[in-house]
Amino acid sequence: QLQLVESGGGLVQYGGSLRLSCVASGFALDSYAIGWFRQAPGKEREGVSCFSARGGPTNYADSVKGRFTISRDNAKNTVYLQMNSLKPEDTAVYYCAAGFGLCVLWAAPYDSWGQGTQVTVSS
């Protein structure tokens, strides 16, 4: 009964902030690499940020460095994506995913995915 459930998306103005949450059930969050991905209409899914299993390295896409921060709360089995200084080009459906211990920003190593949460940034 492995599950990942995203929440926290919505409509925000240019320059605003949102915090996305991903709650894991059926497995221990710190045993897996966790990634945040996004997909806009007509575009391929792209990696945004990730952290490795058991306190390993984190990684960020160049487009979000300095604006987005990934974090986790192992006691709550929850991973977060804090998004600041949002731009219209950040508009997409955001997904969290769990996979092998390596932190990578491509989808292949990730086996379990949430249903996504919509983020829309107005201009």
- How far is it, in rounded angstroms, from Cα 30 to Cα 18? 24
| Backbone dihedral angles phi then psi of residue 73, each to the nearest 5 degrees | -125, 100
Average pLDDT, the chain: 94
Half-sphere exposure of 64 (CA within 13 A, CB side): 25
Q: pLDDT tens digits, residue range 55-87? A: 888 999 999 999 999 999 989 999 999 999 999
Q: pLDDT tens digits, residue range 5-32? A: 999 999 999 999 999 999 999 888 888 9
- How far is it, in rounded angstroms, from Cα 83 to Cα 17? 5
- How far is it, in rounded angstroms, from Cα 55 to Cα 72? 10
